[in-house]
């Protein structure tokens, strides 16, 4: 438990820390990678290059300081962090490294304002949070290794099949190389792929499981990530998987992790709405197929937004789901090819907006799950809030560092 003095000090310094939080986290990562380069292997350097990881950590620090006197409010954030840490194999010995460089970064940025008393309070606050995370992570590790077929760390899998889903998405069907049992997972979770890239060492990547549990395989559907600006880098691991990995090849896989899944005990008999933008369809198709396989009676609404038929992935599976009596599906293209609508590849042309959501969905009593590009998710989040959907019925997952969803009310395309 935190001392009353520490709580008082942390709350007092929060207004001063917040404007400098991102400068602190930039300093922190530079320090840590320079002095403890062994931890660099746990971090996606693309997120570092574009600043996503720095912004995400800055937001987490501000949230922790703000809620320092009510740690229960941080429960969902701690669970997200713990699941991510376990997917990467973070261990208790890594926490002192982070604490050391974080405190040093605060001192570098805020200078003489960081008195000995403040440094002691921040150190205590970090140690308490670290203890909470370590305890939860050990629980997750224990759960992973205790289930039939379960494991910690990495296990060798073989690519049974490689199936193109669109011009930019390919599915990989994975089975354990040892022929052993495959543990179940919660639809919506992800696995970790560790690639020994022949030219550029890189961190492991998380990919959502895109098929229903209990099939005897794990399936991931990977989007080829192209450069986001001229002369920018392509997705290192996604390109490697698309271009170099074939059926029969081996991959090192970490066990299922993640807190994004449908909890029927929480949902009850309410309608379940799944809103997918682009490659965000992967965890949501797994959820929908799992719900259908369990023969739930809840009405299920599945909206898939894509650019056009060239990049539209897993559309046939969405159509198959729509054959079930309690499933309604809607496919939208925002940049359709000339014949896409006439050929029935999509149901509507346009963007996801408030008018569409109000017309098509049971807004006031449904449980909402959505995933996709950041702009798509921000737009959906803002619209659901504007329509009065309660926060506890809104569930989402980012691909990459968690960032605050605010900003534009304008409809934004999927990608």
Coil, strand, or helix at residue 169? strand
pLDDT of residue 409: 41
Give me the pLDDT at residue 46, please: 62
Neighbours of 274 (CB within 10 A): 28
- Annotation marks residue 301 as catalytic: no
Q: Looking at 29, 64, 95, 301, which residue is catalytic?
A: 95
Q: If we measure between CA atoms, which residue out of 186, 13, 235, 192 comes closest to residue 86?
A: 192
Known binding residues for FAD:
190, 205-208, 398-401
Q: Cβ distance 369 to 322 under 8 Å?
A: no
Helix 94-110 × helix 21-35 angle, to 10°: 130
DSSP letter, residue 184: -
Contact (CB, 8 A) for 83 and 258: yes
Which DSSP category does 174 fall into? E
Marked catalytic residue, from 137, 225, 367, 397: 137
* Structure confidence at residue 402 (pLDDT): 53
Q: How far apart are CA 194 and CA 205, in angstroms?
A: 7
Regions of the chain short of the pLDDT cut 70? 45-52, 198-201, 227-233, 399-415
Cα–Cα distance for residue pair 410/354, rounded to 1 Å: 10
- Digit-coded pLDDT (tens) for 272-315: 999 999 999 999 999 999 999 999 999 999 999 999 999 999 99
Measured distance CA(318)–CA(328) in Å, rounded: 10
What does the block give as tokens for 304? 């898939």
Binding site, residues?
Answer: 85, 190, 205-208, 278-283, 398-401
Q: Is 141 considered catalytic here?
A: no
Domains for the chain: give ranges and CATH numbers: 4-146 (1.10.490.10), 155-257 (2.40.30.10), 264-397 (3.40.50.80)
d(CA 291, CA 92): 37
Instruction: Write down the pLDDT at residue 188.
Output: 96
Question: Given this model, what pLDDT does residue 228 score?
Answer: 56
The residue written with tokens 């369809």 in the block is: 281
Task: List the beta bridge partners of residue 333.
Answer: 306, 349
First and final C-alpha spacing in the chain: 45
């Amino acid at each position: 438990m935190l001392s009353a003095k520490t709580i008082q000090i942390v709350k007092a310094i929060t207004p001063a820390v917040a404007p400098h939080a991102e400068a602190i986290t930039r300093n922190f990562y530079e320090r840590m990678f320079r002095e403890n380069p062994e931890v660099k292997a746990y971090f996606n350097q693309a997120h570092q290059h574009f600043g996503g990881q720095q912004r995400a950590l800055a937001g987490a620090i501000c949230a922790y300081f703000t809620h320092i006197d009510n740690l229960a409010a941080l429960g969902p954030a701690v669970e997200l962090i713990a699941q991510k840490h376990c997917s990467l194999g973070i261990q208790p010995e890594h926490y002192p490294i982070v604490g050391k460089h974080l405190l040093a970064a605060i001192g570098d940025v805020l200078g003489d304002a960081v008195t000995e008393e403040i440094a002691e309070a921040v150190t205590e606050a970090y140690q308490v949070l670290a203890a909470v995370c370590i305890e939860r992570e050990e629980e997750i590790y224990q759960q992973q290794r205790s289930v039939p077929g379960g494991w910690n760390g990495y296990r060798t899998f073989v690519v049974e099949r490689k199936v193109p889903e669109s011009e930019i998405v390919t599915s990989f069907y994975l089975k354990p190389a040892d022929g052993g049992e495959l543990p179940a997972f919660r639809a919506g979770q992800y696995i970790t792929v560790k690639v020994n890239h022949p030219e550029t060492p890189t961190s492991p990547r998380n990919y959502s499981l895109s098929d229903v549990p209990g099939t005897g395989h794990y399936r991931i559907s990977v989007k080829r990530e192209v450069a986001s600006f001229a002369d920018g880098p392509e997705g290192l691991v996604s390109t490697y998987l698309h271009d170099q990995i074939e059926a029969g090849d081996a991959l090192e896989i970490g066990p299922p992790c993640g807190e994004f899944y449908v909890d029927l005990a929480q949902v009850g008999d309410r309608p379940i709405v799944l809103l997918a933008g682009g490659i965000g369809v992967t965890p949501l198709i797994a959820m929908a197929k799992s719900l259908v396989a369990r023969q739930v009676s809840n009405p299920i609404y599945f909206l898939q937004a894509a650019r056009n038929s060239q990049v539209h992935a897993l559309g046939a599976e969405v159509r198959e789901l729509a054959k079930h009596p309690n499933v309604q599906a809607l496919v939208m293209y925002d940049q359709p090819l000339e014949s896409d609508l006439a050929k029935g590849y999509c149901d509507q042309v346009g963007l996801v907006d408030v008018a569409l959501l109000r017309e098509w969905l049971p807004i006031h009593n449904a449980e909402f799950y959505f995933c996709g590009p950041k702009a798509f998710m921000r737009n959906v989040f803002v619209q659901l809030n504007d329509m009065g959907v309660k926060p506890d019925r809104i569930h989402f997952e980012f691909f990459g560092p968690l960032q605050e969803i605010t900003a534009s009310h304008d409809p934004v395309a999927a990608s």
